[in-house]
Chain A
Amino acid sequence: MARARHPTEDPTWVKALVIGVVMVFLALVLILPLVAVFAEALRKGVHAAIDAVLHEDALAAVKLTLLTAAIAVPFNAIFGLCASWAVAKHDFPGKSFLITLIDLPFSVSPVVAGLIYVLVFGMQGWLGEWLLDNDLKVIFAVPGIVLATVFVTFPFVARELIPLMQEQGTSEEEAAISMGASGLYTFWRVTTPNVRWGLLYGVLLCNARAMGEFGAVSVVSGHIRGLTNTMPLHVEILYNEYDFVGAFAVAALLCLLAIVTLVLKTALEVAQPAVRRGGH
Chain B
Amino acid sequence: MTISIRSVQKQFGRYPALNNVDLEIADGELLALLGPSGSGKTTLLRAIAGLEFPDAGQVLFHDKDVTYASAAARRVGFVFQQYALFKHMTVAKNIAFGLDVRKGKDKPPKAEIARRVDELLKLVELDGLGGRYPSQLSGGQRQRVALSRALAVQPSVLLLDEPFGALDATVRKSLRKELRRVHDATGVTTIFVTHDQEEALELADRVAILNKGQIEQIGSPREVHDNPASAFVCGFVGESNRFEGRIEGDRFVSGPLVLPAPNLADGAGVGFVRPHDFVLADQGVEARVERVNAQGALARVDAVLADGTRIEVAASRADADRFTGSVKLEIAKSHVYGA
Contacts and interface: CB of A to CB of B under 8 A. Distances in A.
Interface of A: 171-172, 174-182, 185, 189-190, 193-194
A178 B88 contact: no
Interface of B: 49-51, 70-72, 76, 78, 80-82, 84-88, 97-98, 101-102, 149, 153
- Sort A-B residue pairs by CB-CB distance and give the 7 closest, nearest first: A179-B98, A178-B71, A180-B72, A171-B84, A175-B84, A193-B88, A181-B101
A245 B114 CA distance: 66
Nearest to B161: A171
A181 B76 CA distance: 13
Contacts of A179: 72, 97-98, 101, 149, 153
A174 B80 contact: yes
A194 B102 contact: no
A181 B99 CA distance: 10
B84 A172 contact: yes
A185 B101 contact: yes
Given A171-B84, A194-B87, A178 B51 contact: yes
Q: Interface SS of chain A: helix, strand, loop or mixed? A: helix
A212 to B, nearest CB: 33
Contact of B72 (A171, A177, A189, A193): A177
22 contacts: A171-B81, A171-B82, A172-B84, A172-B86, A174-B71, A174-B84, A175-B78, A175-B84, A175-B86, A175-B149, A176-B86, A176-B97, A176-B101, A177-B72, A179-B72, A179-B97, A179-B101, A180-B72, A180-B102, A182-B101, A190-B86, A193-B88
Nearest to A170: B84
A178 B101 contact: no
Nearest to A186: B101
Contacts of B49: 178
A178 B97 contact: no
Contacts of A178: 49-51, 71-72, 76, 78
B86 A177 contact: no
Q: Which of A172, A179, A182, A190 has the most CB of B within 10 A?
A: A179
Q: Is the interface of B mostly helix, strand, loop or mixed?
A: loop
Nearest to B75: A180
B45 to A, nearest CB: 12
A277 to B, nearest CB: 14
Given A185-B101, A193-B88, A180 B153 contact: yes
Contacts of B82: 171
Contacts of B102: 180
A171 B101 contact: no
A37 B83 CA distance: 54
A190 B49 CA distance: 20
A181 B102 CA distance: 8
A176 B150 CA distance: 10
A180 B71 CA distance: 8
A190 B97 CA distance: 11
A178 B158 CA distance: 12
Contacts of A190: 86
A179 B97 CA distance: 7
A217 to B, nearest CB: 38
Contacts of B78: 174-175, 178
Nearest to A190: B86
Residue of A175, A176, A194 with most partner-chain B CB within 10 A: A175
A44 to B, nearest CB: 53
Nearest to A193: B88
A166 to B, nearest CB: 15
Contacts of A174: 51, 71, 78, 80, 84
A181 B97 contact: yes
A171 B80 contact: yes
Contact of B70 (A172, A177, A193, A194): A177
Contacts of B70: 177
B71 to A, nearest CB: 4
A195 to B, nearest CB: 11
Contacts of B98: 179-180
